[in-house]
Amino acid sequence: MTFVRLNNNIEMPVLGLGTWLTSDKNLKSAINWALEIGYRHIDTATLYDNEKTIGDVLKEWINSGKIQRQELFVTTKLPPAGNYPERMEKYILQSLKDLQLEYVDLYLIHSPEGIKNSPPPNNNTKEVEMDKNVDISALWKKMEEQVLLGRAKSIGISNFNIPQINEVLSNAVIKPACLQTELNVYVQQQNVVNFCKEHDITLIGYCPLGSPGINAFYSEYGITKSIPKLLDDPIVHEIAIKYSKTPAQIALRFLVQQNIAAIPKSSNLNRIKENFQIFDFTLDQNDLQLLKGLDKGESARLGDWESWTWLEEEGTIKSS
């Protein structure tokens, strides 16, 4: 396994297992397989509603002596409903309880936007009101407290743009260690990447394979946007043949070779293995440039948080 060194000198495995939209039964198998293969970085979030399942598996591995806690790198995230100084602490405490851990290795603010009211089913209106005016600086101070209290080794942000990152940096005592955002061959966000590298913020790319199953998910929730399929791209296929690798392995190598961590999600044993087998080759500069030329920008992105109706469960989203 290859590591990236964060700005606080902590090492993070450059490849992790994503866990969004994985059923509990499949998730248990996926994490067990991943740990057996050699993964040590597990990514989750309060919004994924799977921290208890992950905690059960990790506890089994730690208690059995097959792995030590310090070998693991566990990331979880503060949900939008917790993006207020007076609310955030209860969410990290609940995550630690569910994960059965004394600390997480990385705690991220999942979104720069908040949810003013509690999401369903905890309110009677079944309505989620998105809040674009979160006091990020005040929230970040509470994030910094979690490091001082030993609840998080590192803290960071997710789905933030450059002005929002600057807002954090302008008042931070502890700089964000990471930005987790959508990054892949089709969604390269070069301005954000360059900015983070200039400020020593490590990037973690979610949907590094272009999220092959997202169109079916969108259809289920009535979202009309269609995401192009990165793994079907002919240039990616040509490069894969050249290196005797798969398109997925080329897509992942594209990120990690730029010191960008990747967290591909899979509950299939063969794909979990395949995704891990990216450390025995290097893309040459010509192929890197070919892949950089495939950037499709916003047209290939999953979308902003207002368009993600899964946040509201059965309610409706309003912005303010």
> Is position 199 annotated in a ligand binding site?
no
234/242 Cα distance (integer angstroms): 12
Output the CA torsion sign for 142, 87, 85, 19: positive
Which residues face 76 on adjacent strands? 107
Query: Minimal CA–CA distance to 204: which of 176, 237, 233, 163?
Result: 176
Which residues face 78 on adjacent strands? 109
Pairing of strands 114-115, 127-131: antiparallel
Active site (annotated) includes residue 218: no
Query: Minimal CA–CA distance to 271: which of 229, 241, 214, 231?
Result: 231
- Of 39, 48, 91, 107, which one is the catalytic site residue? 48
Helices (H), 199-246: 214-220, 234-243
- Residue ranges of the binding site for substrate: 110
- Residue ranges of the binding site: 110
Residues known to be catalytic: 48
